[in-house]
Amino acid sequence: MQEMSGNIRIYQKAAGEGRMDERMTREALRYLGFGRQRADESTLGIVRECFEELSRTAKERIVYRVFGLDVKEEGLIKIWNIEIESKSLFKNLKGCEKVILLGATLGVEVDMLMKRYSCMDMARAVVLQACAAAFLERYLDGCQREISGEMAKEGYYLRPRFSPGYGDFSILHQREILAATDAAKRIGLTMTESSMLTPTKSVTALIGLSREQADCPAEGCEGCEKTDCAYRRDS
């Protein structure tokens, strides 16, 4: 069994610190299916209101832990006592010495907010779902920048986040990531028998640590125009 190379670390961000920006708005509209189509002012108004409500309600938390990485052969990876067979993850982690396992959530309060709107105003509930997804991604981007600064002191560069469900990286590995990070105890993040995270606006992910800089943007593959990058994750 591989030993953990670092203590569990937890970040907690108080409600109200999140701010809407243009990128968050674009992401929310993308989740809503607008694509290149311009949203009407009514929709944009609801998006703004949803982000404001999320900034007051969300209790963002993240827990992560650094592990050694053992690449057995192409497509076969071992992290702690987790064995993963995934060619897409292998490509993402190529050249890495260590890996970060993480879990993050907006908290049960956001679930309660979405449930309330689903009973009162389904149209707003749909917009809120999209805004919450964008809100969570923005939170993760900020955390990743902080982690990047910490890892740089040890001579490591971060690869893009890679979550179970990307490419051929099975979503079933979420349970092992939660166990490895003690996410249930640390931030209240668990998983149902049907492999759904709870609270629902949550995510698990891996981030490779390499001594070589790969010039990957903090916001990950979605924000990068280099579509032929060797470290690009499959969407």
- What percent of the chain has pLDDT above 90? 73
CA distance 120 to 106: 22
Indicate the range of 43-52, 200-209, 211-220 predicted with least confidence.
Answer: 211-220
Mean pLDDT of 17-44: 84
Please report, rounded to a whole number, the percentage of residues in the chain having pLDDT higher than 70: 83
Position 137, amino acid:
E
Mean pLDDT within 35-42 = 87
* pLDDT score of 123: 92
Average pLDDT over residues 173-201: 95
Highest mean pLDDT of the ranges 17-21, 78-82, 226-230: 78-82
pTM of the model: 0.84
Read off the pLDDT of residues 39-61 as tens digits, 9 standing for 90 and up: 889 999 999 999 999 999 999 99
Q: Is residue 218 scored above 70 in pLDDT?
A: no
Mean pLDDT of 166-195: 95
Q: Dihedrals φ, ψ of 195, to 5°? A: 65, 30
**What domains are there in the chain, each with its CATH number?**
9-211 (3.40.109.40)
Residue type, 5: S
For the chain, give the mean pLDDT: 86
What pLDDT score does 35 carry?
81
Q: Which of 14-18, 40-44, 160-164 has the lowest mean pLDDT?
A: 14-18
pLDDT average, residue stretch 135-143 = 95
Nearest to 144 by CA among 91, 220, 69, 68: 220
Q: Where are the alpha helices (DSSP H) in the chain?
A: 22-31, 41-57, 87-93, 108-120, 122-152, 174-181, 183-187
In degrees rounded to 5, what are phi and psi of residue 206?
Answer: -120, 150
Contact status, residue 2 vs residue 81, Cβ threshold 8 Å: yes
Per-residue model confidence (pLDDT) at position 13: 55
